[in-house]
């Protein structure tokens, strides 16, 4: 983004703030503070919440002690994620007691959906509980609380996609943005709480997706990440939950749009708009998407393809819908069509009944794929999921030992990929300052590798060619040429 654009944007943001406060003067100007945990979708949802409340006269603040309303957008995916939120609530309690007695506290997202009324009983501090499909109801819920009542809405919808709401970009860099394309998940992996907390899968109207991406580009953004629990199963046939597709009319079926079609459309907005997407589920990703990626240079050469285990027996217990062989076939297709494509994964270690032999299969699968990077987790039982009725019988110490082994394995593969890049030159989109030095910029290659380099005369949002001179297993260092 050039400086004029940046300034224009700043002025616009200021104006917007004033407008919000002015129109708020009729309603009383109020400040909202929001913290998000968990997946990218939650961060994206918080921007929708900020937008809904901007219409009610709320501005956002980064200072909790001046907030009228404090929201925490929560994650339930593992027990640890929920414990983090409980700790934050203790912290809010201390702020409310000592510094900001008037503040209202709301819990949003997956934990709100999972615990419902129980939350209000367990955490006396909490005034509002709102599930992921009920954010449009926030103004009513807030009014209810202001009238001295507690408020809750955890209704899950078959249709809600917030398609018409333009998110207020919170604390972003003005260069990269998340754009939701689907909500919910129908896959029912046995370990996973998401189908219960985010409801049935539904796709967002493609027109609203294209418009949001186009607007972002016009405002100086240079990268969008299309988000969904399972992006490859995106299917637009005029609205409704995906499960209703079988009842769609002949014409709706003929006019339907799948993920490859959508990618193709978004890629054509502008060749200088980079496109990423997450998450791909191996059971739904097909060659059509891989071919679409290879056709457009602005679709980044990186696929996040969570595998969860290398053992077909465990994959079956997890209800993942593919086995080791099918996963390898997909990897082979990707490597055949986009030879240099970066591939990353999620892995669950120590799922119910995992043996040493299963664990070895996971290690050997990792050797076959040689992932660029990965996110690795110890299995954590989630209440009321199908796996919660299986025995969580891998002892903690063994889970920890296997996890350490898997992490070490991944680090050596990551380092291998980074070292392969030494001496080569990559196009990098500048996304911000390096965390460690104000003299350096941070950006990413098409393969999603982080690169640090001296700023020179470049600016945020520029594409630069960087020659790689040094690396760790997580970061590349180089010089702009």
Footprint of ligand SAH (CB under 6 A): 77-78, 191-192, 194, 229-230, 279, 281, 306, 308, 346, 348, 377, 379-380, 382
Q: What's the min distance (Å) between Cβ of 126 and ligand SAH?
A: 24
Nearest to 89 by CA among 76, 70, 63, 75: 70
**What are the φ and ψ backbone dihedral angles of 470, each rounded to 5 degrees?**
-155, 165
- Using CB under 6 A, which of 60, 176, 180, 229 touches ligand F3S? 229
Residue 380's binding partner among ligand SAH, ligand F3S, none (Cβ under 5 to 8 angstroms by kind) is ligand SAH
- Minimum CB distance to ligand F3S smaller for 53 or for 194: 194
Give me the helix-helix angle, 324-337 and 287-295, nearest 10°.
20
Query: Which one of ligand SAH, ligand F3S, none is in contact with 333 (Cβ closer than 5 to 8 A by kind)?
Result: none
Output phi, psi for 276, to 5 deg. -125, 165
The tokens describing 167, both together, are 């998110």
Q: Are 298 and 287 in contact (CB under 8 A)?
A: no
Q: How far apart are CA 341 and CA 334, in angstroms?
A: 7
CB nearer ligand F3S, residue 190 or residue 449? 190
Interacting partner of 371 out of ligand F3S, ligand SAH, none (Cβ under 5 to 8 A depending on kind): none
The least CB distance from residue 111 to ligand SAH, in Å, is: 14
Q: Which does 77 bind (CB under 5 to 8 A by kind): ligand SAH, ligand F3S, none?
A: ligand SAH
Q: Which among ligand SAH, ligand F3S, none contacts residue 78 (Cβ within 5 to 8 A by kind)? A: ligand SAH
| Least Å from the CB of residue 279 to ligand SAH | 4
Query: Which residue in this structure is represented by tokens 């997946």?
Result: 39
Among 128, 194, 352, 387, binds ligand F3S (CB under 6 A): 194
For residues 180 and 41, is the Cβ–Cβ distance under 8 A?
yes
Q: Does 42 bind ligand F3S (CB under 6 A)?
A: no
Instruction: Choose the binding region for ligand F3S from 24-32, 97-105, 189-197, 421-429 (rule: CB under 6 A).
Output: 189-197
C-alpha–C-alpha distance, residues 425 and 479, integer Å: 9
DSSP-assigned letter for residue 200:
S
Q: Provide the minimum distance between the beta carbon of 232 and ligand SAH in the complex, in angstroms, as a whole number.
A: 9
Q: Cα(231)–Cα(303) distance, rounded to whole angstroms?
A: 11
Quick check: 197 binds ligand F3S (CB under 6 A)? no
187, 225, 344, 450: which one binds ligand F3S (CB under 6 A): 187
Residue reference for tokens 């209440």 = 383
376 binds ligand F3S (CB under 6 A): no
Alpha-carbon 227 to chain mean position: 6
195 binds, among ligand SAH, ligand F3S, none (CB under 5 to 8 A by kind): ligand F3S
Residue number with CB closer to ligand F3S (229 or 278): 229
Which neighbouring-strand residues pair with 275? 224, 299
C-alpha to C-alpha distance for 411 and 472, rounded to whole angstroms: 10
Residue with tokens 């929708």: 48
In whole angstroms, give the CA distance from residue 233 to residue 187. Answer: 10
- Strand, helix or coil for residue 450: strand
d(CA 300, CA 276): 6
Tell me whether residue 230 or residue 434 sits nearer to ligand F3S (CB atom). Answer: 230
Q: Is 185 in the site for ligand F3S (CB under 6 A)?
A: yes
Q: Give the residue from 462, 424, 176, 439 showing the smallest Cα distance to 300.
A: 176
- Contact between 230 and ligand F3S by CB under 6 A: the answer reads yes
Q: What is the largest CA-CA distance in the chain?
A: 67
Q: Report which residue's Cβ sits closest to ligand SAH.
A: 346
**Which of ligand SAH, ligand F3S, none binds 382 (CB below 5-8 Å, type-dependent)?**
ligand SAH
C-beta of 166 vs 380, nearer to ligand SAH: 380
Specify the pairing of strand 425-433 against strand 463-471: antiparallel
Which among ligand SAH, ligand F3S, none contacts residue 346 (Cβ within 5 to 8 A by kind)?
ligand SAH
Q: Of these partners, ligand F3S, ligand SAH, none, which one is at the site of residue 209 (CB under 5 to 8 Å by kind)?
A: none
Q: How are beta strands 58-60 and 30-36 bridged, if at all? A: parallel
CB 409 within 8 A of CB 347: no
Nearer to ligand SAH, 78 or 361 (CB): 78
Query: Between 347 and 451, whose beta carbon lies closer to ligand F3S?
Result: 347
Whole-angstrom distance, CA of residue 376 vs CA of residue 102: 41
Q: How many residues bind to ligand F3S according to rule CB under 6 A?
A: 10
Residue (142 or 293) nearer to ligand SAH, CB: 293
Tell me which of ligand F3S, ligand SAH, none is bound by residue 317, counting a contact when its beta carbon lies within the kind-specific cut-off of 5 to 8 angstroms. Answer: none
Q: Which is nearer to ligand SAH, 110 or 429 (CB)?
A: 110
What span, in angstroms and rounded, lies between the C-alpha atoms of 292 and 246?
A: 26
Of 169-177, 181-189, 372-380, 465-473, the window that binds ligand F3S (rule: CB under 6 A) is 181-189
Query: 265-304 mask for ligand F3S (x: CB under 6 A)?
Result: ----------------x-----------------------
- Where along the sequence are the contacts to ligand F3S (CB under 6 A)? 185, 187-189, 192, 194-195, 229-230, 281
């Amino acid at each position: 983004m050039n400086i004029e654009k940046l300034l224009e944007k700043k002025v616009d943001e200021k104006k917007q703030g004033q407008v919000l406060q002015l129109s708020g003067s009729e309603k009383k100007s109020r400040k909202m503070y929001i913290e998000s945990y968990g997946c990218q979708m939650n961060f994206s949802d918080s921007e929708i919440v900020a937008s809904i409340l901007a219409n009610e006269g709320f501005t956002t603040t980064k200072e909790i002690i001046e907030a009228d309303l404090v929201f925490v957008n929560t994650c339930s995916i593992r027990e640890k994620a929920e414990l983090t939120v409980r700790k934050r609530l203790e912290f809010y309690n201390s702020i409310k007691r000592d510094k900001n007695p008037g503040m209202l506290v709301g819990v949003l997202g997956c934990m709100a959906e999972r615990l419902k009324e129980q939350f209000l009983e367990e955490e006396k501090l909490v005034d509002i509980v709102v599930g992921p499909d009920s954010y449009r109801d926030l103004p009513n819920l807030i009014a209810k609380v202001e009238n001295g009542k507690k408020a809750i809405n955890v209704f899950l919808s078959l249709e809600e996609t917030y398609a018409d709401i333009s998110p207020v970009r919170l604390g972003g860099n003005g260069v990269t943005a998340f754009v939701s394309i689907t909500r919910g998940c129908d896959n029912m992996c046995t370990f996973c709480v998401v189908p219960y907390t985010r409801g049935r899968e539904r796709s967002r109207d493609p027109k609203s997706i294209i418009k949001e991406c186009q607007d972002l580009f016009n405002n100086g953004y240079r990268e969008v990440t299309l988000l969904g629990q399972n992006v490859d199963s995106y299917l637009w046939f005029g609205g409704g939950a995906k499960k209703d597709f079988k009842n769609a009319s002949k014409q709706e079926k003929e006019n339907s749009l799948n993920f490859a079609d959508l990618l193709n459309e978004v890629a054509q907005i502008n060749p200088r708009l980079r496109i990423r997407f997450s998450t791909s589920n191996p059971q739904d990703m097909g060659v059509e998407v891989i071919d679409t990626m290879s056709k457009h240079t602005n679709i980044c050469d990186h696929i996040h393809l969570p595998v969860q285990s290398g053992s077909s027996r465990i994959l079956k217990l997890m209800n993942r819908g593919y086995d080791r062989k099918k996963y390898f076939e997909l990897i082979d297709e990707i490597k055949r069509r986009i030879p240099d494509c970066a591939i990353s994964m999620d892995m669950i270690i120590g799922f119910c009944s995992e043996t040493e032999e299963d664990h070895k299969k996971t290690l050997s699968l990792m050797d076959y794929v040689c992932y660029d990077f990965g996110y690795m987790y110890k299995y954590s039982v989630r209440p009321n999921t199908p796996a919660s009725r299986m025995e969580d019988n891998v002892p903690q110490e063994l889970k920890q030992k296997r996890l350490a082994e898997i992490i070490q394995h991944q680090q050596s593969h990551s380092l291998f990929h980074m070292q392969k890049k030494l001496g080569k030159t990559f196009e990098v989109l500048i996304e911000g300052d390096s965390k460690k030095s104000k003299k350096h910029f941070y950006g990413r290659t098409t393969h999603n590798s982080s690169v640090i380099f001296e700023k020179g005369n470049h600016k945020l949002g520029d594409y630069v060619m960087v020659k790689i001179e040094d690396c760790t297993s997580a970061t590349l260092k180089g010089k702009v040429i």
